[in-house]
Structures are given as structure tokens and as C-alpha cells.
Structure 1
Amino acid sequence: MRRSGELSTVVTNNVVPIHRKSEPSLQPILDLVAGGMNQVNAVILDRMQSRIPLIPELAGHLIAGGGKRLRPMLTLACAKLLEYSGDRHYKLAAAVEFIHTATLLHDDVVDGSGMRRGKRTANIIWGNPASVLVGDFLFSRSFELMVEDGSLRVLKILANASAVIAEGEVNQLTAQRQIDTSEAKYLEIIGAKTAALFSAACRISAVVAERDEKVEDALDSYGRYLGIAFQLVDDAIDYVSDEQTMGKDTGDDFRDGKITLPVILAYARGDDQARAFWKDAMEGRRVSDDDLLHAKQLLQQTDAIADTLAKARFYGQQAIDTLGAFPNGQAKAALIEAVEFAVARAF
């Protein structure tokens, strides 16, 4: 079977390549921002409260459900990279997490998901209407925090990211079960629904640190490339990981007819019989456990998973390269290893 060409990466001076001997970890970024995350978590706990008991109960189910809080950690780590010594970024990092949590609540309703982070989803426990409305509440809280910051620039960045995320989700919905979806459209979708919040979370650190647009753009690019790599890995491991590792139902993307890069590659490289299978599967006519097993075999035969992960490594290296202009130090090293961790999750 045809393999995609080697994905070249450019390693600039002052940047560590994406490959390392030891297993990458989030521990460096966790250590870097531990004190700041205590501040962020205090804001989250305070602002998720309501006189309506169901709101903090449902929100807390997801917020306290074991998520890594990677996006707000990126806000704090980028602020450290820029040696920002103020405290504006704590509330803004909490706003970023509220946006992320709200989108998860809405996504689980749209997808009919039953598990997230190894637990039953809020929509299964409390129902779809409550999940949607609490998601709306968290969106509102995020905008309160932005307004309190007082920067129209920050408000524009995060408000735009929220709109782009919604556009990406709608775009993905229109592409669902459409087997002729192109790789370009897929990358457009994940660039919106996933990478937009990563890039905004990083960019706002440059705003509060009062750096110029060149620094803003560099951190924006770092977050965007990281977000794309992160989603590529997620889409690959939906077919190769188990439920315990993933923290969600296995094969969800397959049964939901989500057109992800592994499917796009396998369909393009398959013979007539394989292409007919993928068309039937994505249109909801082949969704049994045996069908999922066959899908995994086709993905293996066509190198679709391997090449999806190769593309994730490529975007991960792009993220690392954007940090080349920043001075070496604990913050830069932690941001680099966060990328390596995001890519290494599949191995």
C-alpha cells in the first residue's frame, strides 16, 4: 500500500527537536504553573457557583472529572515565558477553561456521548436540556471574566475563538457521514473546533504582558499547531486505544460517522470493496463490533493511523519551531515537552 511521503520538519536554532529518549510528560508544565493553577482553580470554583443547586452540581461533575486543564495551563506557561508578573491571567485562564467545559457539555449532547474521562457524561445523568443550559451558564461566566479584565483586545480574541469553535462544530456536523470529505476540510474543521481555543489561550498571555503583535502571533501559532496535533492524535487513538485509556466509549467516531483523517486516508487508498465498506460504515449501515474490527484492519493495511500520527508529529514540530525566538529556560522547556506529550499519547 502507498505510504505518504516523509513529513519533513525544520529544527531552528535554539529549539529542541520533538524526539527525546525519555518519555515526555506534563509534569514540567504542571510544576511550572502549580501556584498559578491554584489561583485559577479558586476562580473556577467561585464562578461556577449559583443559587440554583443543579448548576454547580452538573458543572462540577465535569470540571472536577479529571481533566488536565491543559488550556489554562498554557495561558499561565506562556505568561511565564514572557516573564509576566501580574495577576490578570488567572481570571482569563479560568475563562478559557469555562469556554472549554461549555463546549464539552454541548458536544456530548450533540454526539449522544455516554462517557467522558472515564465517567458517565452529564447529559446521561441529568439529561440534554440541563447540560445545554449549564453549558450556556459557563459561557456566560467566561464572558463576565473577560469583561472584568477590561481589555477589549482580550475580549475580541476570546469572543472570536468562541465563535470559531461553534463554526467548527457546525462544519463538522455538516461533514458527518460525508465520506467524500477532503483532508483540507478536515483540517479546517479541527483548526476551528480544537485549535482555536489553544491558540487564543496562548495569545492572551502576550496581550496581558503587553508584548507586540509579533510575539502574539508566535504564541498564537504555537497554540494552533499544538491544537491540531492534539486533535490528530485524538482521532487516531479512537481506533487504536481502549476505553480505559481513552476515558470514553471506544469506536464513538466510527459509529457516529465522523470523517476523521484516518478514515479519509483509508478510503482514498482502499480498493473498491474497501471503499464500499467505508461508505456503508460512515452512512451508518456497518456499525457492529465486527465492523469496527474490520475498520481497524483496513486502517492498519493502508497505514492510515501511522500517517495520521506522522502528521501530528509534523504539526507538533511546527509548534516547537515557533518557540525558537524565545530564550531558553524552564518555561520554554515545559512548553516544548507539552507538545511532545500531546503527540506521544498515542504510543
Structure 2
Amino acid sequence: MSDDVRFMRLALALGRRGLGTTWPNPSVGAVVVDPGTGRILGTGATAPGGRPHGETLALADAGADARGAALYVTLEPCSHHGRTPPCTDAILAAGIARVASALEDPDPRVAGRGHALLRQGGVSVETGLMREAAARDHAGHITRVTRGRPALHLKLARTRDGFCAGAGPERLRITGPVADGAVHLWRAHADAILIGIGTARADDPSLTVRLPGLAGRSPLRIVLDSHLHLSPASVLARTARDTGTLVLTTRSAPAHARRALEALGVEIATVPADAAGRIDLPAALAHLGTRGLTRLCSEGGPRLAEALAQADLIDACTLVTAPVELGAAGGLPALGRELTRALASEEFRVAERLRLGPDEAVTYERAI
């Protein structure tokens, strides 16, 4: 393994720690290295809330030693003035001699300008180091900038014979504790969790992160509820002041239901309806994009999953398969026809296979 790859891997690992906490900004990792000795002089990652940026923190960590050093960064340094000065200015002022950047930022305010300004300032710039890994980590930022919506990661659990629920009203527990822990880690790395009103009413979930040390990483909880059927007695409504809860509804929702939920701290937003009176999914995700959300994890049921597939809104899908079977009793199939077709198409590839105790998780990803 080359030193460049080793240092970029560290930068990527630093950036991943902040996933789910930095929106609307990407979680960028940065490492400052002495090119002669290979000694790490400073490290940084985008702070919660999106500022300061990872490059700024890494340069501050390195201090005066940054002069003449190399900077490894997972995304092109910003070149525009926002709430903070451009990272390109900080890099030039610190005297960095070389920048190794994994990925050009598609944000039109940057889009190669950051790299160009550094070169104009006399910095040696190399791009594309571990580009594929960086694109995967920054998929949410890329999707919001290029498609106007957050990247959507669909998660579904199923039995070995393909069911996600039994034939009766009782809730079917499919996966084991190791897989359940993985789900909570995915939640911690998401900006928001999305479910439909059917799941909200059937399961009454909390949708929080319940892993040791990560209790504060619970993401925004979003419910698609065209007629505001979410009960004020539900866990989501009762805990809305502790963990952010957003309900997307339509104009046909009754005003009294809106007032009851808002009194508990639930935020209500109205989005367009489709021809059948249901929430228009592309419009709903576009609305979330305007809010700055970049990484959305869907934990709804197969009906929502199929609707997302029909609307071509799925960017990654993780299927967790347990070694149990329902057999002749049958139940509710986990995968609908359109989702099955999408995952088998050339648009998606198997990106990861994990053994989670007795369960197996396979993640399909759309090419970025």
C-alpha cells in the first residue's frame, strides 16, 4: 500500500465519523503530513453542524508545521465565501505545498474552482486518489447537489423465503441482535429516517439510536402521512421535543390533527399530492433537499419500498436476510416487482456483503 493511499484512507475514516451530523455540508476528512518523514502533523473532520470544515481543523491542528506539508482531503476544498472563509484561502495561508484530493466537488460554487485556485497559488494538486470510496462516502452531498434531493438508503429485513411480515396482525421479529445493532449504526450515520404512516401505526417505533455512546446521534424522524393519521399518543409524537420529528402531509389533512401534533412539538410540512391523493414522493424528497438533508434512510415497509422504486428514488438498498422461514403459512413479501427489477438491473451493483450473526446483509448501490 502506498503512503498516499494510507493517508487518504485515514482521511476517509475521519470523515465517516461525522456522517449524519454535518448536513447540509458534507463530512470531509483531512490529514496534514510531513512529506519527508511521513509524520502526521494534523487531522480534522467537518464539525457537527457543518462548520468548521475538516481542512481548517486539520491545518489548525498542524499549526506552523503545515508549511511545506502535504494535505490529504476527501473532497475538493471549498472556494466560496459562506459563513466561513474559503478553505482554499486557509490552505494557501498555511503554506501547504501539495494537496491530494479524492473527489471534485459537484457544487457549482466549487466544481473545480478550488483545485484551480490552489494551483494558481503554487500548490501541487493531484485529484482522484481513492475516488470511488470518496464518492460513496459523499453520495448524499453529490445527490443533493446534482438531483436536488437526499441520497436514499432503503433497508428491508426478510425471512429466507422472502417475507417481511407474517399473515396475522402480530409483529414478526426477523433479525437478530447483531443485525439490529447494525441498523442502529446506519441510523447514526443518517441525517434522517423515513417511514410511512402504515409502519408508524403498526409498529409504533421510536426510530432512535440505542447504541452505547451514540444515544445523541439519533437522526431526524420523518413520517409520510397524507391525512395526518399519526396518533398524538404515538411514541414519535410523544417524544418529538426530545428527538426531531417531521411529518410530511398534504393539503387535505385536517386542521385539528395538525394542531394536536404541533402542540406536542411535531413539525408539519405540506407537500404536493399525487393523482391518488397520496404524497408525491419526488416532491417530498425535493422538499427535504431544500432543507439541506443529504442522507436519508428508509425503514418503512414493502409498500413504501415499492413506491420509492417506482419513482426511481432509491440510491442504495440493504436486504437483511434471516435464516428463518414462514413456510406454507406465508405472509407479506418483502420485495415488490419493481424493486426486484431495479436491483437486478445494470443500474445497481452489489457493493457489500456482511455476516451479521446468523443474518446476512447485502447492499446494492446505484452507480454515482
How high is the TM-score relative to the length of structure 2? 0.26
Greater relative CO, 1 or 2 (CA 8 Å, sep 6+): 1
Q: Which has the higher helix share?
A: 1
| Structure exhibiting the larger radius of gyration computed from Cα positions | 2
Judging by fraction of residues, say which structure has more strand: 2
